[in-house]
Amino acid sequence: MKLLLVFSLLIPSMVFANSSKFQQVEQDAKVIEASLSAHIGISVLDTQTGEYWDYNGNQRFPLTSTFKTIACAKLLYDAEQGEINPKSTIEIKKADLVTYSPVIEKQVGQAITLDDACFATMTTSDNAAANIILNALGGPESVTDFLRQIGDKETRLDRIESELNEGKLGDLRDTTTPNAIVNTLNELLFGSTLSQDGQKKLEYWMVNNQVTGNLLRSVLPEGWNIADRSGAGGFGARSITAVVWSEAQSPIIVSIYLAQTEASIADRNDAIVKIGRSIFEVYSSQSR
């Protein structure tokens, strides 16, 4: 697998893509919005050309578990600054358990390193592991401060798991915009915030995600690679952020957010798959 690291030498200025290229993606999004009575936001960035396209890209959506990439990037950053030791251990208590903690629930009474907690939350979306990280960093506000420091003025984290997944309409807490999160991922994976070792580790965690096989990975073009992080929450919230690339295709950063729908999780997953397939077709057709 070609590592993303080799693409991080230059981040071009962003330019808006020719909308005709994404006409089918937009059409598919509108059809899905209507059929699911949902609100959908999408952002796509070609890291080589700086070309981007969005659909409701500046509107707010619940972060859900897509915040975990940022929290673990903050851990890596603080470690590089000498402010935290990722090998330090935290004793796991029964009181630490929250809904969906598949790794941590088996380790009550044991100790876990912060590094291993990030691996757990990034690869299985373990919520108790995420809270361990947030507590070590200084709380949700420390993640928001980090975002402002690296230029993200929109994304905010206000609560911990599982409250942050509430997803109530009009609540600004624990939200992002598709465009903001794509730009932030671009900075974290290809910018100057993290060292190359830090970028490589963040990529490793995302590549080894175990809970997204039925989303974009299920329609990834042959020969392509993916590093991703998904999320789900109340009021129909469902989301995924991803970087996809191949030998012939420079990294594409994608964010897809759904909210305010009564659709089943299966239908929301299918919506992400359909939108992802349309996005991949844009770039697959270019390389034929």
Q: Give the C-alpha separation, 286 to 269, whole Å.
A: 26
What's the farthest any 2 CA atoms get from each other in the chain?
57
Is 110 in contact with 145 (CB distance < 8 Å)? Answer: no
Query: Looking at this protein, which amino acid is placed at residue 206?
Result: M
| Residues designated catalytic | 65
> Exposed, middle or buried by CB within 10 Å (0-12, 13-18, 19+), for 80?
middle
Segment holding 226, helix H or strand E: strand 225-232
Total Cβ atoms within 10 A of residue 43: 25
DSSP 152: -
- Angle, alpha carbons 174-175-178 (nearest 5°): 150
Segment holding 111, helix H or strand E: strand 111-113
Q: Give the C-alpha separation, 221 to 170, whole Å.
A: 37
* Phi and psi at residue 151, to the nearest 5°: 100, 0
Strand locations in 135-193 (E):
175-176
Task: Using alpha carbons, list the distances in angstroms from residue 133 to 108, 110, 120.
Answer: 16, 16, 11
